[in-house]
Amino acid sequence: MATNALVLFSGGQDSTVCLAWALERFETVETIGFDYGQRHDVELACRRDVLARLGAINERWAGRIGDDHLLALPELGAISDTALTRDAEITMTQAGLPSTFVPGRNVIFFTYAAAVAYRRGLSHLVGGMCETDYSGYPDCRKATLVSLETSLSLAMDRAFIIDTPLMFLDKAATWQMGEDLGGRALVELIAEHTHTCYLGERSARHAWGYGCGTCPACELRRKGFETWQAGKT
């Protein structure tokens, strides 16, 4: 049984829950993040903060957190004419996808992650993709990632496993998973220190965390939090 994993860690709620999930299951857990010219690049500072604080929640986790890898992929932002990589309004496009969709992003992320995992001797690649409460991105769907797992394993002649523990959970269930894994301490860390807002807004603090409160990412996070809280009363 594999005892190591590489988590795609952006510094957001979903990837933080996935990191805690991996720390419960693997003896060594490394992380990887990407600077691709994202509009909400404040998440890069948040990911460092979360990594620095996560070990204090659980001593076992502290002993399992391994190296962090931050890769610069400026070309991805340069070729992407999207609201996530440009100062543009978030709208629905003629293709039926939100203008925050960055074509090829998750495929590129996992390809680079697999290359790092190959060098580091890591077998599991963990991502926070979800096709339940999500913005409709085709590269977040289970079928896409199953296909990618096969392609990466064939291309590198190494058996990689792509784990997506949030794939069929709504955002309320993601909040609950965070509490189940790390108690109130992890919930508070997620609310205070992670970042999800597409606009990079961190001047307004809500019960569910920082953000503009109106972009699709904030809407999903807020609604999930409120549904989760309502279910606890």
Per-residue pLDDT tens over the stretch 65-105: 999 999 999 998 888 888 778 887 888 777 777 778 888 89
At residue 78, what is the residue type? A
pLDDT for the residue 193:
98
4-231 belongs to CATH 3.50.50.60 = no
pLDDT for the residue 94:
75
Report domain extents, the chain: 4-231
Residue ranges of the chain whose pLDDT lies below 50: 1
Query: Could you give the CA distance from residue 210 to residue 195 in angstroms, rounded to a whole number?
Result: 7
Which of 47-85 are b and which e, b meaning 16 or more Cβ less than 10 Å from the residue's Cβ? beebbeebeebbeebeebbbeebeeebeebbeebebbbb
At 10-20, the pLDDT tens digits run: 999 999 999 99
Residue 126 β-bridge partners: 7, 163
> What's the chain's length in residues?
233
Helix (H, G, I), strand (E, B) or coil at 124: strand
Query: Could you give the CA distance from residue 201 to residue 212 in angstroms, rounded to a whole number?
Result: 5
pLDDT for the residue 99:
76
- Contact status, residue 114 vs residue 156, Cβ threshold 8 Å: yes
